[in-house]
Structure 1
C-alpha cells in the first residue's frame, strides 16, 4: 500500500508544492522586471529555460506513441511505503512537467497564498488561480501534449478545465479524489457509490477453495494480456469469497458490481471504465463483475466493458461466458468432498458440541456452501438456549433445511410433510416398496462411501422412482409420507410448466431445479411426467431431436441427484420401456377397491367431527379415488357447518354430486343405494 497520510509522505508533498510555488514566484518576478524594462532574458533562475514550450519531437516533449497508454494496476504498482505523490506519478507515467502541473493545482487548494501568487505571476488580479499558460511559462520542461484529452492528466480526470474552450486561460482544477489521495485520505470515489460495493476477504477458506483462489491470483500476476480472470459455478457468495481471497493475495482489495449496472450508452460506459480504472490504481483494487441472466444488449455492453479492462477484473457467473477473449485463469468453484464438508460442519458447530455421527448425518444430507453452513450454525447457537422441543442435532437438521430451501420456493410448490404411514391405504406390496425406497435414501452414505459402492459403480447412484396411477390414487400422499419419514422437504415440480417450446429452455429450467435441490437433498416430485415423457419417436426434425435430448438430460440429472427424485404419471403404458429401465423403482398405485375406499373414508373423517349415521361402507360405494374422497368429505363438512347441523349422509350426497360434476360423471343409483 502507499504511504497514505504518513508524515514523510505529507512532508514530501509540502516541500514539492513549495518548490513549484517558488517557480511561480520567480516567473512573477521576471514578469515584473520585464514590465519595468529590467529583464533581458527569459531564462529561469536555475537556467532551465522555464517558459519555453517544447515542440513535439524536441527535448522534453512527450513521445506521441506514449499518449493514451493504459496503465496496468499490477505491473506499475509502487512498492509498500511509497509516498502518494510518487505513487501517482509512477502509476500514470507523468512527465516531470505533468507532475509539477498536478502540484500547482494542488497548491491552489492547500496553500492559502497560492491564489495571490498565481495572480501576481499572471499579472491579472482576476486570474488568481492556476492556468495552463501559467504552467507553460513558469514550470520546467513544459509541453503542449500534457493537456490533450488523451494524455494522462485529462484522460484519467486528474485535472479538469473550468472551460474547455479556453485551454490556456481556463482555471485548472485538481480532481477532489486526487487531492484527498495526495493528502493521505483514501476512499472510493463518490461517483461510484451505489454501483460498486466493497467485498470483504473471508476469514478462512476450505482447502479446495483456497487452491481456487491461488489459481485466480496467479492468473492476474502472470497475465500477458489484459488481467482478466473468470470464476464460475457455485453460488454468488462462494465465487465472491474466492475472488476476494485471490485479490488479497495479489495485494489488492476487491469491489463488486452487477453486469446489469454497466451502461449501454458507449460514452457513459467509457466514463465508468476510466473512473474505475483510475480507482483500481489508486486504491489499489480489483473488480468483480457479477454476470447473471443478461439480455443481448446488456451482454454486448458487458463484453465491451471487459474488452477495455487494463486493470484486474474477475468475471463471476454461473456458467462460463461465451467469449473469444482470453482469460488469465478460468476457475470453477469446486464441489467440497465429504472430508471437507465434515471439517466445515465440525468447525462451524464446534461450540455446539455435535458428535461425529450427528455431523456425518448432516454431511450425508446437505451440500451447503461454507458461508451457509456457518449461517446455519449461528442460527442454532441463537436458538439453542430457548428451544425445548429439539436437541442440538435436531436444531442443526432444521437449520440445514431452512438454508437449503432458499431458492427452491420459487421453483416448485413446497409441502410441509405431516402424513405418516398410517395415512396410506395401499396394498402391502406397494407399501414395502416405498419403505425400501426410504432405506435406499437413508443408508446411501453407508453403502456408497463406507462400503465403497460409489467407487465401483460410479454412475446411476441417484435414487429414482416412478409412481404410476390415476389421479387421486395417493401418489403425492406417498411422497409426503416418505419425505416425513426422512425429515426432508417435499417439492412438487409441475413438469408441464418446466417444459418450454424454446430449444434449450427446458434443460435450463431443469438445471435450476436440481442445482437448488442439491443443497439439501429435498424429495423432488415431478408431477405430470407425461408432459415430457412419451414414446420416443423417430427423429424427423430438430424438435424431435431436442425433445429426446430433454428426456436424456432429466434422466441424467435424476441419476446423479443426491436426494430422491420421483416422477408421477397417469399413463405408464405410454412411456418408453428404455426410459423405464433407467428408473430404479416403479410403484403402481391402482384404483382402490371398495374395502380400501371404506378404509380411506374412516381415516379421512376426524374423530372430533360431529357426525350422525355416517356409514363408511355405504360411502365406499362411490367409485372415486382417495383424492375425491377427501374433497367430498371436506365439502360435506362445510355444508353441515353452514346449516349448524351434524355431518350426515345427505350432506355427503350433495357434496358427491358437486364432485361428480367436476369429474364430468353422473351419480348412479347403485352408488348411493341406502344413503338417505
Structure 2
C-alpha cells in the first residue's frame, strides 16, 4: 500500500467515529430509529419530530468557516507540504484549500474508499438510496452547518473545491443543503497513489508527455541551439527555453499561421527541463466546456512542474483559455488567430503573453525568430528585431533523420513544404512505408506523395482540387515564358531562405508569398502552366471557383476571398485564380455606390496580396484589364504568346503522341500547323476529334484526313472561314 493511501485511510478512520456519534445523537430521540422501513417513507412521527426541532439555534455561538479555520490551521498548508508521499497535504497546498474544505472533501470521498460509510450516510440522510454525503451532512461532519454563510460559501462556483474540480454536485434540482456531493474518480485515485491520466482527457485526445530522460544534458543542448546572434530576437528555441525555465508559471499565446512548429519546440524544451506536458489539440470545433477545468485539475494533481500546451485552438478559444489559464500553472496556447485581450480578462489574475511565431520551412530562413506581439492582460512584451541565426538547421536535421537513405537532392525535394516537427515525422514515416511497399529506394516521389496530403486538407472547401499530372515536357512554349516558369518554381522553393535567411524581407507586414500573373489569349496554356508549376513543386493545384466567391451583397465577396487566403496561408498548395480580371479588375471613377463598393473590393485585394504567405497564380486573357496597382505587387508576369507555325506543329505532335497514327502523318501535321492558326487548347480539341473519329470508325489508326477534319471543325466552331474554301462557309 502506498504512503498516500495510508494517510487517506488514516484520516477516514478518524472520520468514522464522528459519523457514528452523529448516528447516535440522531437515533436517541428518533421515534423511527428501529423501524426496518426507516428511510423508505416519511412517517407521521418523523414529520412531527422534524417540525418540533425548529432548525439551528440563533443564539448559539457563531462558529462559521472563518472561526473554524482560525482555531484550527489547515494541515499541510505550510512549507514542505506533501513530503513523504502525503498527497492530501499537496492537494491542500496546490488547490488552496482551507481546513473546512479538507474536512468536506474527506466526508464526500469516504464512500468511494470505504463502503462502510454507505449505510451510515444512508441513515443520516434518512434515505437508504442516498449513500453519498449531502452538503448539509458534510458540513455537519466537519463541525459546521449550511446555515452559516462562510460554510455555504465553500460550495460557490468560485470556491477552491468547486472551481478546482475536486467536488461535483448531484441532484441539481434540490436545495443546496440536500444536494449530494461526489468526488471525481480521478481525485480519489490520485489520493490513493494512482497517476493514471483522467478518463475524460483520454477521450478528448489529451496526451501526457513525461519529462525527457537526462533532462539536464538535454536542456544544455537546447540552450546552445537557442542562442542567437547580436541584435537578434529570441528564436523559436530560445523562446521555448524561456518558457521552460521561467521561475514562475507563465501563460503564453503563440500565434502560428502555419502548423505548430514553435509549440512543438516549447513542448520539447519543457520536457528537456524535466517537466511533464499535457498536450491537447481541440481542433476547430468548440470542445466540452468542462475539459478546461479537468486539464487544469490534472496539471495541479501532477505537481507545479506540469505544463499544459494547447495547439490547434478552436475558432472561439476564449472560453477554453479562461478555463485552463491560472496563475500557478504554465500554459501555452497555440493557434492562427491573433490574441484577444478579452481572453486575459476572462482568466482572473493571469497575465497573457502574446507572441508571433515564425513560418516554418525547410530552408535556412525557416527558423526566423519569434516576434513579440502586443501582450494582453498585463501587457507583457519583449524587445528586439530581426531573425534568429541558423534557425533552419532544425527542420533540415529533422528531414535528414526521417528520410535515411534518401535517393536524390533532399533539399530540393522538401523545400516547397512548410511543415512542423510532427508533420515532418508523419511524412517521413509514410514515405518510408510507401517506398518499402514498392520495393524501391526512398525518393522525392514518395515524399511529395505523402507531404501534399498533409499540406492542404481544408482548401477543398473553397476551391477545386487538381492533382498535377503534367510537367515541363508537356509544355510547348517559347524560351522566354518557359524560363519565367522555371524562375517561378525557384522562387517558390527558396523564398524562406532568400527572404528570411538572407534578410531580404521588407517591413510593413509583408508576407512571403509568391504571386504570378499569366496573361495571354485563350488556349495558350496558362492553366496548364499553373498545373506544371504545382507539379514541379510537389503540391496540389486548387482552382478558385469565382462563381462561388463573388456575391451580390456588399462585403460578402471580400469575406469569401479572405477565407480562401487564410487557408492558403496555412497550407502548402498552389492557388489558381482563373479569369482573375473578374475580381482583380481596374478601379474606376466613382460615379455611384456600385463603383465605390467595387473599388473597395479591389483595395482589399491589394492589401491582402501584401501579407499573403502562399503561392498564387492569376490568369487573364486581357492583361490590360488588370489594375496596374496589382502588377506592382506581382512577383512575375508571364506573357503567353499565340503560337507560331513551329510551335503549333509541336503542339500537334504532343497532342497525338500517345495515339496510333498512320505512317507519314507528320507532313500533314506540318501543313495543318501552317494553314490553321489554332491555339494550344483548340489544337488539343481538334486532335481529340480526330482520335474519336478514328476509334468510332474502327478500321485503323488516326489518318491525315481525320486530323484535317478536326482542324476544320475547330475553325467552324469558332465561326472562322476555313482556309481553301474561297470565302464560302465550310459545311
Q: What is the TM-score of this pair, normalised by structure 2?
A: 0.67
Partner of 2:466: 414
RMSD: 5.2
Distance in 2 of aligned mates of 1:670 and 1:56 = 120
Do residues 15 (structure 1) and 66 (structure 2) align? no
Distance in 1 of aligned mates of 2:179 and 2:252 = 43
> 1:380-433 deviations in whole A, cap 9, x for unaligned?
444555666656577556665665465566645434253444x44444554555
Name the CA shift for 1:622/1:53 in 2 (closer, same or farther; >3 Å). same
State whether residues 598 and 617 of structure 1, in contact with CA within 8 Å, keep that contact through their aligned partners in structure 2.
yes
Name the CA shift for 1:88/1:467 in 2 (closer, same or farther; >3 Å). closer
> 1:331-371 deviations in whole A, cap 9, x for unaligned?
23333535333343235424855799945545654432222
Shift of 1:119: 7.9
Do residues 61 (structure 1) and 79 (structure 2) align? no
Partner of 2:541: 491
State whether residues 236 and 262 of structure 2, in contact with CA within 8 Å, keep that contact through their aligned partners in structure 1.
no
Partner of 1:24: 19
Do residues 213 (structure 1) and 240 (structure 2) align? yes
Do residues 372 (structure 1) and 423 (structure 2) align? yes
Shift of 1:174: 4.8
Shift of 1:569: 1.7
Residue among 624, 636, 639 paired with 2:693 = 639
Distance in 2 of aligned mates of 1:425 and 1:384 = 33
Do residues 334 (structure 1) and 358 (structure 2) align? yes
Distance in 1 of aligned mates of 2:630 and 2:25 = 96
Shift of 1:513: 2.2
Shift of 1:566: 4.2
Name the CA shift for 1:357/1:619 in 2 (closer, same or farther; >3 Å). closer
Map 1:490-639; keep pairs closer than 5 Å. Answer: 491=541, 493-494=543-544, 496=546, 500-501=550-551, 502=556, 503-517=558-572, 525-538=576-589, 543-553=597-607, 555-556=609-610, 566-583=617-634, 585-606=636-657, 609-611=660-662, 615-620=668-673, 621-639=675-693
Partner of 2:190: 181
State whether residues 197 and 208 of structure 2, in contact with CA within 8 Å, keep that contact through their aligned partners in structure 1.
no
State whether residues 342 and 359 of structure 1, in contact with CA within 8 Å, keep that contact through their aligned partners in structure 2.
no
State whether residues 495 and 529 of structure 1, in contact with CA within 8 Å, keep that contact through their aligned partners in structure 2.
no
State whether residues 493 and 524 of structure 1, in contact with CA within 8 Å, keep that contact through their aligned partners in structure 2.
yes
Shift of 1:28: 5.5
Partner of 1:257: 282
SS of the residue aligned with 2:523? coil
Name the CA shift for 1:457/1:629 in 2 (closer, same or farther; >3 Å). same
Map 1:288-367; keep pairs closer than 5 Å. Answer: 294=315, 299=316, 303=318, 306-307=321-322, 311=326, 312=329, 314-326=332-344, 327-336=351-360, 337=365, 339-350=390-401, 358=409, 360-361=411-412, 364-367=415-418
State whether residues 540 and 574 of structure 2, in contact with CA within 8 Å, keep that contact through their aligned partners in structure 1.
yes
Map 1:130-141; keep pairs closer than 5 Å. Answer: 140=143
Distance in 2 of aligned mates of 1:261 and 1:456 = 37
Residue among 235, 251, 254 paired with 1:231 = 254
Distance in 1 of aligned mates of 2:503 and 2:352 = 39
Shift of 1:583: 4.2
Distance in 2 of aligned mates of 1:305 and 1:293 = 9
Partner of 2:526: 475
Shift of 1:554: 5.5
Matched length: 620
Shift of 1:634: 1.3
Q: Mind listing any 5+ residue stretches in structure 2 that lack a counterpart?
A: 31-54, 70-77, 213-217, 227-234, 345-350, 367-389
Distance in 2 of aligned mates of 1:672 and 1:433 = 41
Distance in 1 of aligned mates of 2:79 and 2:283 = 27
Shift of 1:472: 0.9
Greater shift after overlay, 251-260 or 200-209? 200-209
SS of the residue aligned with 2:546? helix
State whether residues 119 and 129 of structure 1, in contact with CA within 8 Å, keep that contact through their aligned partners in structure 2.
yes
Name the CA shift for 1:245/1:549 in 2 (closer, same or farther; >3 Å). farther
State whether residues 232 and 318 of structure 1, in contact with CA within 8 Å, keep that contact through their aligned partners in structure 2.
yes
Distance in 1 of aligned mates of 2:681 and 2:127 = 95
Shift of 1:278: 4.7
Shift of 1:320: 0.9
Distance in 1 of aligned mates of 2:59 and 2:97 = 16
State whether residues 286 and 314 of structure 2, in contact with CA within 8 Å, keep that contact through their aligned partners in structure 1.
no
Name the CA shift for 1:273/1:78 in 2 (closer, same or farther; >3 Å). farther
Name the CA shift for 1:238/1:583 in 2 (closer, same or farther; >3 Å). closer
Shift of 1:318: 0.8
Greater shift after overlay, 467-476 or 612-621? 612-621
SS of the residue aligned with 1:603? helix
Map 1:443-482; keep pairs closer than 5 Å. Answer: 454=504, 465-480=516-531
Shift of 1:438: 6.1
> 1:614-635 deviations in whole A, cap 9, x for unaligned?
5224533333211111112112
State whether residues 454 and 461 of structure 1, in contact with CA within 8 Å, keep that contact through their aligned partners in structure 2.
no
SS of the residue aligned with 1:230? strand
Name the CA shift for 1:498/1:318 in 2 (closer, same or farther; >3 Å). farther
Shift of 1:321: 4.3
> 1:263-321 deviations in whole A, cap 9, x for unaligned?
6xxxxx5x666666555544566666667674xxxx4xx54565566635654321214
Greater shift after overlay, 503-512 or 116-125? 116-125
Distance in 2 of aligned mates of 1:444 and 1:132 = 64
Greater shift after overlay, 464-473 or 81-90? 81-90
Structure with more relative contact order (C-alpha pairs < 8 Å, separation 6 or more)? 1
Partner of 1:86: 89
Shift of 1:474: 2.4
Shift of 1:557: 5.2
